[in-house]
């Protein structure tokens, strides 16, 4: 503490100042009066290494500069971004920003540790140093001044503005002068000589050089307006000088009142500061926008800008005139220094106080504070002797700390980071706890890394003020390192040489490959077993999922896709199992086995292993074998001669084979061709009547099962060559003999198409009958039926005759008459309505090129009158017995309307085919919309035709047969409906419901060889249409059901897949293959146990129903592109409402049984297959019915009750199970059979 000052003391001080000037030794001059010190401490902003700590990190509390420890320090100077230190031996050390050469080492490199300037170590002894913003000054023992750094505006005094990288001596007016003090500002410099003169040079703007102008000076120039001076200070934009009498002169930039003259105007020449005139100032310090002055009795005055508290008055207000800092009044201050925005003072007891801005740590408080407007002591335990404030850092020189121990301990001594694959992103950092395990406070704690491969994610606190205090930091590798092992060290450094090192390592693997495999590989087929098989852990098959690539595989689940209805067990992931395969050859082990006590049957399921890098699936197969058991026995059959007879059996068991036998009175004998579940006898004869048929069913498991015997009864065929010859009141009827007939029945009617009533029976040896008592002029229609012990046979074709009195009446036969070839109307053309002939039509034959066209036109008024007398559902038959290439029925739109209103059926019949169309299936609105306005119904022609295809289409059909490896059994026939108006034709090629076409199977073509009917498109493509062989009046027909018009042919296509020979689905698979609905994986293989995808099943259903592929470009689903092989079939299924469009379809996913049955239920409605009577209760027998989705329940009930789909067993429906190809074949076969379409 200082004592009260007296006037005598002030007088003594003044005398001392004069004597000091004479001796060249100035009070307050740190270069002359500083005590020897052993340590230099730095704190604040560390950028460019200005703190000399070996790095660029900030220090929030004083940190000893280890390279300067133990040296006798004479002076320190902190510039804007660099620092100078002078030793008692005259050596000069520099560190920090090396730009412009300000460090004096001949280059512009930065120095993070103190480095000797060679000139002042080897040749010149330095006695003072001054660091400016970007240049430096050094005073030699000989009184010379050396300059280096930025030379702009002449601040180096060398006569140029050139930068200087190494110290050069300043000449000019200083030549021969003895300099005793130096000061470096922002862009100007001041030099004090031993005679009290001051020289300035550099930037002159704002008047900072004191020459009463603002001109730059490239060489030193004496300031004439100053008296003898004892102290100088060059600020950023202004200058201060202290006279030997203690007065202070200010000049330069006056903004913010930094000159203390109560004015913000610039001052061009030295002007005394009135407020300090009587205070006997010994030292001054000019900062950026504020100034300090130190008096002889240790008081400190401040003035200028106090925006961040740098004036120390407890406010942030400007101070226009010098004001004593009251907070320092109790101390005897011996040194002062101003930085850019903070201030530092030193007491006579070695304590250091700082105030102003502190965000960079320049106040030495141990933490980054915004600032303080009152002086606060720095955090340390040493005593200072030298101070200097730089731009944002502070340098203090002093003694050593007290006897505290200073050390820290880290929570780890090494960190091995979890390895990552190349291309990884930044991940969570590892936290390290740092604890003060010494006895003294830790300040300036800074983490540094030896390698750029690592980064500090969260920095620690910089101070641990008490023993046991701790802080944390976190460290991690930087993102995106190259493959290899990366190492480094994390060093924790603190003030007073405290260090702690942590080793770091991190491995980056090369571009990862994400692959895995199953061992043993492939599907699992369990040994075929009988009913008494054993299944437990001893019979389980081990499976292992092994990582084969370099990337981690995260296993998410192992599951059976069949759900709880599955017949298998699979090991699942447990808490002890690894879910991440992180090392090569690391594996997950899981067993698979079949469930116990399964009934006879074939079982399959799929195991799916789901990972974050794809899925792996394998199939399970198991067969429980049992001896054959016959469920349904063959039934007696009664057929007509010339037709086919069929016997069938259903059986369960394993590896079934069939052998049919016949007993013709000589005992049962094998039938070589009877080796399937169904026996078909082609073209039976009366001689076969009474034969008995049975089947022996063999299996893998003995014994075989033998069915009951069924008896075949064969009734006679239809008589042929029936002829009727008319006489007077009589008709003579004759016919050919029928093999096996024991008699003949004769029927008579007066209505065409009507069998009439029995009028006579004759013996089997009579082939004529005379019908008498007939009315002349009436047409009579006769049929003849042969009889035998098994009953009455088929009816003959109708023969007619009209008796007349002359005996020359018309006679008829069952044969067709030929066309007259006339091109004029034949007014005798007849149209039948409900079986009664009507004279309401005409027929005309015309030629178009080499083709003959027979056209029947119906009289509109006559048709309307006739329909008025009939009920709903009338059948209008238009028959042609005229030879023609094309037979056309012509109506108009009004006729179509009246037919549709009455629910009538329009039937076109030729000798080769019958085309029956419900009138309401022809959409008049679509027809009218296709023509321009004015197309009135009565003006639009409706043309319905049955034709021989063109030669081009016949060739297309033949080519298609060769390509498809099938045989055309019945030549192609073309069916068409079209509307015509004003020379334009609108084809009607699609119906809302199935339309039947009945094609005659000609003599010589075996009906049993016909596999199906097909449509042959104009592009040569072929598609199946539902087809059924029927017998009508002793003749065979193929009923073809289709939703479109086109060219139709009947084909033979025998298919037999080798891999279903002993499979339960053999018959269904081969039949669906023969009908061109299903194809094999190759010509001989079907893969019955393989699963079906959603796209495949949609395609199967579309082909089974005969839907025409829709190749329109407007895709119904986002994930089904036109390039998809099933695109056209899926589009057609959407068009007919079998599946719902919009969004996504997931075509590649395997379809579940539930999803399958929902589609089939919709197909049932389209194709006309009814559900069972008890559909609402059809699911009660299944234990897993609760697994059926609510939205699917009704559909599944309909399908199950109709017998189309069955459970996987008698008690298991398995709705979530996957559909196999064999099941798909069986379901489609049952669907078509239920609809009576095959």
Domain 720-801 coded CATH 2.60.40.10: yes
Separation between Cα atoms, residue 369 and residue 378, nearest integer Å: 13
pLDDT of 1161-1174, one tens digit each? 999 999 888 775 55
Closest CA to 862 of 826, 823, 898: 898
Query: With contact defined as beta carbons under 8 Å apart, do 417 and 387 qualify?
Result: no
Return the SS3 of 779. Answer: coil
Proportion of the chain above pLDDT 70, given as a percent? 92
pLDDT of 528-573, one tens digit each? 887 777 777 777 888 888 888 877 888 888 888 875 457 888 876 6
Closest CA to 455 of 471, 432, 474: 474
The torsion angle over the Cα atoms of residues 377, 378, 380 and 383, rounded to 10 degrees, is -70
Tell me the pLDDT of the chain averaged across its residues. Answer: 87
Query: With contact defined as beta carbons under 8 Å apart, do 516 and 581 qualify?
Result: yes
Proportion of the chain above pLDDT 90, given as a percent? 51
Domain at 884-1052: CATH code:
2.60.220
Q: How confident is residue 21, by pLDDT bands cut at 50, 70 and 90?
A: very low
Q: How confident is residue 911, by pLDDT bands cut at 50, 70 and 90?
A: confident
- Residue 703: HSE in the Cβ half-sphere, 13 Å Cα cutoff: 2
Closest CA to 422 of 486, 484, 483: 483
Q: How confident is residue 493, by pLDDT bands cut at 50, 70 and 90?
A: confident
CATH class as words, domain 629-715: mainly beta
Give domain 408-418+426-508's CATH number out of 3.30.1130.10, 2.60.40.10, 1.10.3720.10, 3.40.50.300.
2.60.40.10
pLDDT of 1006-1065, one tens digit each? 888 899 999 998 888 899 999 999 887 678 899 999 998 889 999 999 899 999 988 988
What strands, in cross-sheet order, belong to the sheet with 126-131? 126-131, 135-140, 145-149, 164-169
CB within 8 Å of 791: residues ≥ 6 apart: 638, 713, 715
Separation between Cα atoms, residue 607 and residue 407, nearest integer Å: 61
Separation between Cα atoms, residue 1182 and residue 801, nearest integer Å: 65
Query: With contact defined as beta carbons under 8 Å apart, do 188 and 202 qualify?
Result: yes
Length of the chain: 1238
Burial of 272 from C-beta contacts in 10 A (0-12 / 13-18 / 19+)? middle
pLDDT at 398 exceeding the cut of 70: yes
Q: How confident is residue 584, by pLDDT bands cut at 50, 70 and 90?
A: low
Q: Where are the alpha helices (DSSP H) in 1044-1186?
A: 1066-1074, 1094-1104, 1127-1135, 1153-1167
Separation between Cα atoms, residue 145 and residue 177, nearest integer Å: 10
CA distances to 730, 733, 802, 925 from 775, rounded to whole Å, are 8, 16, 9, 50
pLDDT of 1103-1146, one tens digit each? 999 999 988 768 889 889 888 989 999 999 999 999 986 689 99
Q: 1214 in the Ramachandran plot: left (φ > 0), alpha (ψ -120 to 50) or beta?
A: left
pLDDT of 150-197, one tens digit each? 999 999 999 999 999 999 999 999 999 999 999 999 999 999 999 999
* 392 vs 959, higher pLDDT: 392
Fold: same for 408-418+426-508 and 884-1052: no
Find the helix or strand (DSSP H, E) in which 128 lies: strand 126-131
Closest CA to 694 of 680, 682, 711: 711
Report the CATH fold assignment for 514-528+538-624: Immunoglobulin-like (2.60.40)
Closest CA to 472 of 430, 425, 503: 430
Find the helix or strand (DSSP H, E) in which 165 lies: strand 164-169
pLDDT of 888-899, one tens digit each? 999 988 899 899
Phi, psi of 880 (to 5 degrees): -125, 125
* 88 vs 35, higher pLDDT: 88
Separation between Cα atoms, residue 201 and residue 191, nearest integer Å: 9
pLDDT at 315 exceeding the cut of 60: yes
> What's the confidence (pLDDT) of residue 1112?
77
Burial of 632 from C-beta contacts in 10 A (0-12 / 13-18 / 19+)? exposed
Separation between Cα atoms, residue 733 and residue 784, nearest integer Å: 9
pLDDT at 879 exceeding the cut of 90: no
Q: What is the 3-state secondary structure (H, E, C) of 383-405?
A: CEEEEEECCCEEEEEECCCCCCC
- Among 137-146, 351-360, 900-909, the minimum mean pLDDT is found in 900-909
pLDDT at 582 exceeding the cut of 90: no
Separation between Cα atoms, residue 725 and residue 808, nearest integer Å: 9
- Does pTM surpass 0.85? no
CB within 8 Å of 225: residues ≥ 6 apart: 210, 212, 269, 270
Domain boundaries along the sequence of the chain: 408-418+426-508, 514-528+538-624, 629-715, 720-801, 884-1052, 1058-1235
Which residue carries 């599955």 as its tokens? 566
């Amino acid at each position: 503490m200082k004592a009260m000052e007296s006037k005598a003391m002030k007088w003594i001080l003044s005398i001392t100042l004069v004597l000091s000037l004479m001796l060249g030794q100035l009070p307050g001059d740190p270069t002359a009066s500083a005590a020897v010190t052993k340590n230099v401490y730095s704190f604040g902003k560390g950028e460019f290494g200005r703190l000399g700590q070996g790095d660029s990190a900030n220090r929030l509390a004083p940190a000893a500069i280890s390279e300067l420890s133990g040296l006798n320090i004479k002076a320190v100077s902190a510039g804007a971004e660099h620092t100078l230190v002078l030793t008692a031996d005259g050596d000069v050390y520099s560190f920090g920003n090396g730009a412009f050469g300000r460090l004096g080492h001949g280059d512009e490199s930065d120095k993070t540790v103190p480095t000797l300037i060679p000139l002042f170590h080897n040749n010149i002894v330095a006695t003072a140093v001054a660091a400016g913003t970007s240049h430096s000054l050094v005073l030699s023992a000989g009184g010379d001044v050396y300059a280096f750094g930025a030379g702009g505006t002449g601040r180096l005094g060398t006569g140029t503005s050139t930068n200087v990288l190494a110290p050069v001596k300043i000449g000019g007016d200083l030549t021969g002068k003895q300099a005793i003090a130096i000061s470096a500002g922002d862009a100007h410099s001041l030099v004090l000589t031993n005679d009290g003169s001051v020289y300035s040079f550099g930037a002159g703007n704002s008047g900072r050089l004191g020459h009463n102008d603002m001109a730059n000076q490239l060489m030193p120039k004496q300031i004439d307006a100053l008296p003898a001076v004892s102290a100088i200070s060059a600020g950023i934009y202004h200058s201060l000088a202290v006279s030997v009498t203690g007065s202070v002169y200010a000049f330069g930039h006056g903004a913010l009142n930094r000159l203390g003259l109560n004015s913000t105007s610039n001052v061009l020449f030295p002007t005394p500061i009135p407020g300090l005139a009587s205070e006997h100032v010994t030292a001054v310090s000019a900062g950026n926008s504020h100034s300090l002055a130190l008096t002889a009795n240790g008081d400190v005055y401040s003035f200028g800008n106090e925006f961040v508290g740098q004036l120390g008055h407890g406010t942030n207000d400007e101070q226009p005139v010098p004001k004593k800092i009251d907070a320092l009044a109790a101390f005897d201050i011996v040194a002062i220094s101003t930085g850019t925005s903070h201030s530092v003072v030193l007491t006579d007891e070695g304590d250091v106080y700082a105030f102003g801005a502190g965000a960079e740590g320049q106040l030495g408080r141990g933490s980054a504070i915004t600032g303080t407007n009152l002086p606060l002591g720095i955090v340390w335990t040493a005593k200072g002797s030298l101070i200097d404030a730089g731009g944002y850092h502070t340098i203090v020189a002093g003694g050593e700390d007290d006897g505290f121990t200073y050390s820290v301990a880290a929570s780890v001594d090494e960190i091995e980071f979890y390895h990552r694959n190349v291309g990884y992103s930044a991940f969570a950092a590892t936290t390290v706890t740092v604890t003060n395990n010494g006895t003294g406070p830790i300040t300036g704690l800074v983490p540094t890394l030896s390698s750029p491969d690592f980064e500090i994610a969260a920095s620690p606190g910089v101070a641990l003020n008490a023993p046991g205090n701790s802080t944390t930091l976190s460290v991690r590798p930087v993102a995106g390192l190259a493959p290899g092992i990366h190492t480094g060290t994390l060093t924790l450094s603190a003030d007073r040489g405290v260090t702690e090192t942590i080793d770091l390592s991190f491995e980056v693997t090369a571009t990862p490959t994400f692959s895995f495999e199953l061992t043993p590989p492939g599907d699992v087929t369990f040994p075929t077993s009988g009913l008494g098989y054993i299944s437990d852990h001893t019979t389980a098959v081990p499976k292992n999922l092994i990582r084969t690539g370099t990337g981690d595989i995260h296993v998410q689940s192992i599951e059976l896709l069949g759900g709880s209805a599955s017949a298998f067990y699979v090991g699942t992931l447990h808490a002890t199992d690894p879910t991440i395969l992180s090392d090569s050859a690391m594996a997950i082990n899981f067993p698979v086995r079949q469930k116990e006590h399964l009934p006879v049957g074939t079982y399959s399921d799929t195991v799916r292993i789901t990972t974050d890098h794809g899925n792996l699936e394998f199939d399970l197969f198991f067969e429980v074998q049992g001896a054959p058991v016959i469920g349904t026995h063959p039934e007696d059959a009664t057929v007509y001669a010339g037709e086919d007879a069929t016997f069938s059996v259903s059986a369960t068991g394993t590896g079934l084979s069939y052998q049919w036998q016949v007993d013709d009175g000589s005992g049962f004998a094998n039938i070589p061709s009877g080796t399937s579940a169904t026996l078909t006898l082609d073209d039976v004869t009366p001689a076969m009547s009474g034969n008995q048929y049975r089947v022996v069913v063999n299996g893998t498991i003995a014994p075989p099962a033998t069915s009951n015997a069924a008896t075949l009864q064969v009734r006679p065929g239809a008589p042929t060559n029936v002829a009727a010859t008319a006489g007077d009141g009589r008709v003579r009827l004759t016919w050919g003999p029928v093999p096996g007939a024991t008699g003949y029945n004769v029927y008579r009617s007066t209505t065409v198409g009507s069998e009439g009533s029995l009028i006579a029976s004759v013996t089997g040896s009579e082939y004529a009958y005379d019908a008498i008592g007939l009315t002349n002029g009436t047409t009579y229609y006769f049929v003849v039926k042969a009889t035998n012990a098994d009953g009455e046979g088929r009816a003959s074709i109708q023969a007619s005759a009209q008796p007349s009195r002359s005996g020359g009446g018309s006679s008829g036969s069952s044969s067709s008459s030929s066309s007259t070839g006339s091109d004029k109307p034949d007014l005798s053309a007849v149209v039948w309505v409900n079986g009664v002939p009507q004279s309401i039509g005409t027929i005309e034959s015309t030629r178009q090129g080499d083709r003959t066209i027979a056209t029947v036109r119906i009289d509109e008024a006559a048709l309307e009158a006739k329909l008025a007398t009939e009920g709903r559902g009338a059948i209008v038959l238009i028959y042609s017995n005229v030879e023609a290439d094309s037979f056309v029925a012509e109506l108009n739109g009004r006729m179509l309307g009246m037919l549709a209103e009455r629910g009538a059926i329009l039937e076109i019949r030729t000798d080769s085919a019958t085309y029956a169309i419900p009138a309401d299936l022809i959409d008049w609105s679509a027809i009218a919309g296709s023509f321009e306005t004015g197309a009135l119904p009565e003006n639009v022609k409706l043309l319905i035709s049955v034709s021989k295809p063109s030669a081009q289409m016949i060739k297309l059909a033949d080519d298609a047969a060769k390509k498809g490896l099938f045989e055309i059994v019945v030549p192609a026939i073309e069916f068409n409906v079209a509307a015509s108006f004003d020379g334009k034709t609108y084809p009607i090629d699609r119906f809302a419901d199935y339309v039947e076409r009945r094609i005659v199977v000609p003599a010589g073509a075996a009906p049993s060889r016909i596999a199906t009917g097909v449509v042959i498109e104009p592009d040569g493509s072929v598609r199946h249409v539902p087809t059924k062989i029927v017998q009508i009046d002793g003749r065979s027909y193929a009923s073809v059901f289709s939703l479109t018009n086109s060219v139709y042919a009947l084909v033979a296509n025998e298919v037999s897949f080798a891999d279903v020979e002993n499979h339960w689905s053999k018959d269904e698979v081969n039949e669906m293959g023969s009908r061109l609905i299903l194809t094999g994986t190759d010509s001989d293989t079907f893969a019955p146990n393989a699963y079906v995808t959603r796209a495949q099943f949609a395609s199967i259903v579309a082909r089974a129903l005969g839907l025409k592929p829709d190749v329109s470009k407007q895709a119904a689903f986002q994930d089904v592109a036109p390039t998809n092989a099933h695109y056209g079939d899926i589009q057609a299924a959407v068009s007919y409402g079998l599946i719902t469009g919009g969004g996504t379809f997931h075509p590649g996913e395997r379809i579940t049984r539930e999803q399958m049955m929902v589609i089939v239920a919709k197909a049932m409605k389209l194709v006309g297959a009814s559900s069972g009577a008890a559909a609402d209760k059809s699911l009660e027998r299944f234990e897993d019915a609760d697994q059926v989705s609510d939205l699917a329940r009704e559909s599944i009930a309909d399908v199950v009750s109709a017998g189309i789909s069955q459970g996987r067993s008698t008690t298991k429906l398995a709705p979530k199970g996957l559909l196999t190809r064999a099941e798909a074949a069986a379901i489609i076969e049952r669907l078509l059979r239920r609809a009576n379409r095959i």
